[in-house]
Chain A
Amino acid sequence: MMFQEWIVLMATRGGFPRLTAANCRPTSPYDDGYNCIAWAAGDTERWWWPDAQFQAYWPPGVPRETTIEAFVAAYRLSGYVLRSDPTFELGIRKVSIYALDGRPTHAARQLRDGWWASKVGRDIDVEHTFEALDGPTYGRSITVLASASP
């Protein structure tokens, strides 16, 4: 599937009405071995999620529940703290947590050019503007976390 077709699919059937070829670019092929939550934490080997069946990875010691607090706690283990400002700051890494109806759905991490990198479910990795993935599937970014760059 060409990227342009993928954009159309995402925008029409995927629940990402803001997505266009101008605010999103592909960076890697389909890979169902990891998800956005892992990707934002720098892990491309595992699928992270606090599911009740214990099928996905979830950091030990973090409450296994689908709440913003639990997701913040998971990223806190990687050195992140709450920060409301999504704009790029030199020397600061940032992760954005998306939620729909108060439940986390997605996470993205900021790039050096101010755009954000996301793994889209089981699908591809993309880079996008801050609000490009807003919509009925992921909701919108409601929490930004920051950490000093290593």
Chain B
Amino acid sequence: MTLASAQRCPSALPRGTGPSWAGGRVLSASVAGFSTQAVRLDRTLAEVAGHYASPASRQPDRRRERFDTLASQWRDETRFLSSTTDIAMHPAYQGIIGMGADALPYILEDLRTNSGHWFWALKAISNDDPVPPRDRGNIRRMTDAWLRWGEAKGLFHP
């Protein structure tokens, strides 16, 4: 196979002799002697190969990781506090609020699984509050109200 044909159709390279599709270079030979266009094509195809070798569905969800880390820290460091204000003003909790709407599905899932005082964050992020005034402080009813809200918004599937 010629280098020219490899440039035209890299997938035609014999297996094991040409590109590494897991993010490696398409042209295994040195770039010396190739045109600028060929080198650029090589790089582009390498990026494409890397993209398909590691699709989004297989990449770690950084937002999920960030939420889990912050939520764990928050839970550990506020478990003995009674002040709703101090619990919500904890830096990790504020970090989750800072994630914005991305955090809502994770918060709702955590609310269902672990309970927890997520109401301040849910209200701050969504600018909404489905809890009727008579249920303020009733954690079970507040949880139910927010889970129903999340389900109605398509953010949470029980």
Contacts and interface: CB of A to CB of B under 8 A. Distances in A.
Contacts of B137: 38, 46-49, 55-58
A146 interface: no
A56 B87 CA distance: 12
B151 to A, nearest CB: 21
Interface stretch (B14-22, B33-41, B101-109, B117-125): B117-125
Interface string A36-59: 111000000111110111111110
A70 to B, nearest CB: 13
Contact of A57 (B79, B88, B123, B138): B138
Interface in A109-137: 119-123, 137
A20 interface: no
B7 interface: no
Interface centre among B81, B85, B138 (most CB of A within 10 A): B81
Contacts of B85: 49, 51-52, 66
A122 B83 contact: no
B73 interface: no
Interface string B5-32: 0000000000000000000000000000
Question: Could you say which interface size class chain B belongs to?
Answer: 20 to 34
Given A55-B120, A55-B123, A121-B78, A49 B83 contact: yes
Contacts of A14: 79-80
Contact of B136 (A16, A38, A55, A105): A55
A126 B115 CA distance: 21
A47 B140 contact: no
Given A48-B137, A105-B82, A121-B80, A55 B119 contact: yes
B116 interface: yes
A15 B82 CA distance: 14
A123 to B, nearest CB: 5
Nearest to B86: A105
Contacts of A54: 133, 136
Interface of B: 78-85, 88, 115-117, 119-120, 123-124, 131, 133, 136-140, 142
Interface of A: 10, 14-16, 32-38, 45-49, 51-58, 66, 105-106, 119-123, 137
